[in-house]
Structure 1
C-alpha cells in the first residue's frame, strides 16, 4: 500500500507557486480519519 493510497487525511492541502494556501474554513484544515487509519495499522519490520 502506498501512502498516497491511504486517505487518513481526507482534506488535502492546496499549494500554489510553492506556497501552502490557507483553508477557507476555520482552523488549520487538518482532519484525521481514524477509521481509515485503523484499516492500516503500523507493523514494524
Structure 2
C-alpha cells in the first residue's frame, strides 16, 4: 500500500508533526512486510 503525499494531510488532521506520521507509516510498512514473510513461511 502506498500513501504518497498523504503524510501531510494525516498530520494536519490528527494535529501531529509530519515526522511523527512518517515514522509511524514506516513502522507500519515494516510490520506488513514481516507479516507477509511470516505468511509465506506458514503456507
Between Structure 1 and Structure 2, the one with more helix by share is: 2
Between Structure 1 and Structure 2, the one with more strand by share is: 1
When normalised by structure 2's length, the TM-score is 0.24
